[in-house]
Structure 1
Amino acid sequence: MKGIINLESIWRRSLKAMGLYYTWLFHKERNYPSAAMKASRQFYASFIQEGDLVFDIGANMGRRVGSFLLLKAKVVALEPNQACVAEIEKVYKGWPVTVIPKGVGAEPGELTFFISSNPLMSSFNKEWIAGMQQKFKDKWDKPVQVPVITLQQLIEEYGKPSFIKIDTEGFELEVLKGLQTAVPYLSFEYTIPEPAGKTIACVERIEDLYGGKVLFNICRDEAWQMHFDSWMPAAELLALMRSADFTASSFGNYGDIYVKAV
């Protein structure tokens, strides 16, 4: 088993060195998907139908973009890291995806984006970065100025999406502040521990935007299944999030909160 794992590691490192890793992953997902890839696509199929418009906010290297495209959705992907943008454009060339090299926030303008030594951890949120520096050895030593637009601007230009995925490393609340239109489904990432009650503020923001006509569920650590059998109202989720159980191992180090209009 150790030899197999080492060969797999060498294969992945070689593909990354040649700039072909994400191209290979998308090829694999199309032709011989792993169990996790199948589970991811089946999970998203419960709220993404053929022809739907999907916004991927914080697309990173585009792993979720691939799942959305294979569900025959049209994708608008936002990513402020130029290296990630180049990768998405290369991997999904010829597919119905619009890649926008910008951040998303509460209002249009320009913000400092802190690029991490691990691209998955780049963020606009200095408070979130400070918390992560206590847990990881990554460095956020490449600040760049990037243009920022709002979700509402995207809706006005591209139309109302069926689903919005938000994964912006601690900047989710600012992204949600720029949304004035309720959409059928959306998700946003949480991390534990999280700074200053931002996840709770996100739920409260959504509850207000939807006028209470909204339900929530949780998918932890990319489990590709909802944690709860039944969707819950905001009050029930907020009570859970304020309890010790939420910060225990029950909900992992990170996950996504899913939202549906009712």
Structure 2
Amino acid sequence: MRSAIGLARSLAIYYGNPLRQRALTRFYAGILKPGDLVFDIGAHVGNRTRALRRAGARVVALEPQAPFSTFLRRTLPRDVVLLEMAAGPQETVAQMAVSRLHPTVSSVKAGFADAALAAPGFEHVRWDAVQQVQVTTLDALIATHGMPAFIKIDVEGFELEVLQGLGEPVPQVAVEYLPGLPRMARDVIERLSALGHYRYNVVRGEEGRFLWPEWRDAAQADAWLAARSPDEKHGDLYARLDTPEA
């Protein structure tokens, strides 16, 4: 029953505003070309997967957590590749700490639940179950499906570990940032900087537009993250590989 309530809550949050979904589709259409390959790591209830597909992308979606994976298997379009697994630094089996009433904050990251309890917005969350999940790597996904134009990663604090399974730069990456846990996104910047020269921008919440008119370098993005108040709205940090054409 608690899992069913949690799924219903997530569906209401992510599908309750059709205008937001259309704005998200327009946003993705502005940063992708038709036919681009995209990895959606942490697909949850599939709102981003569906928006990416409507924008013309070919999508490989990863979601290990039941009941999300079951919902996606039954409802996603057949041309979306759904893998009921997580991504991480190596191929293995891991334990996911699950919040059945707030399943969007379930995480494979060790210690995430303890750290999040001290951050604003998590006061009422309880991680009350454990699920064993299969873990693959971004490199393994690339070997099977090809080089993606874009990787979206929303895995509740496990973003760095996901990127540790990537051995070469990809054109675009987006990771969730949590103002109450700024070190996580800043670690991502360090990891991406080790892979290539990236520039950064931000989307706050589900706004579907970039915050900055210009893309900023790693130091500027890091400084912006460090200056955030813990009670600010979360969002996504976008990284674009800096090429002569960018």
Moved over 6 A (4+): none
Taking structure 2 as the reference length, the TM-score comes to 0.86
Structure 2 unaligned regions, length at least 5: none
Distance 1:202 1:161 in 2: 18
Bigger radius of gyration among the two? 1
Task: Spell out, residue by residue over 1:107-158, the C-alpha distance to the aligned partner (whole angstroms, 9 max, x if none).
Answer: 1111111121212111112432123334332221211221111111100110
Structure 1 unaligned regions, length at least 5: 1-12
Distance 2:224 2:117 in 1: 27
Q: Which residue of 2 aligns with 1:99?
A: 82
Aligned: 1:247 with 2:233 = no
- SS of the aligned residue for 2:177 comes to strand
1:110 aligns with one of 78, 83, 93: 93
Corresponding pairs, count:
231
Q: Which residue of 2 aligns with 1:221?
A: 205
Greater share of residues in helix: 1
Higher relative contact order (CA closer than 8 Å, sequence separation 6+): 2
Distance 2:219 2:87 in 1: 27
Q: Counterpart of 1:261 in structure 2: which amino acid?
A: L
- The answer (yes or no) to whether the contact 2:175–2:236 under 8 Å persists in 1 is yes
Task: Spell out, residue by residue over 1:185-218, the C-alpha distance to the aligned partner (whole angstroms, 9 max, x if none).
Answer: 11001112116x22211101101101x2x11001
- The answer (yes or no) to whether the contact 1:102–1:149 under 8 Å persists in 2 is yes
State how 1:27-106 maps to structure 2 within 5 Å.
34-94=18-78, 96-106=79-89
Deviation, 1:16, is 4.6
Distance 1:34 1:103 in 2: 28
- The answer (yes or no) to whether the contact 2:201–2:211 under 8 Å persists in 1 is yes
Q: Which residue of 2 aligns with 1:204?
A: 190
Identity of aligned residues (%): 32
Q: Which residue of 1 aligns with 2:240?
A: 260
Taking structure 1 as the reference length, the TM-score comes to 0.81
Superposed CA RMSD in Å reads 2.3
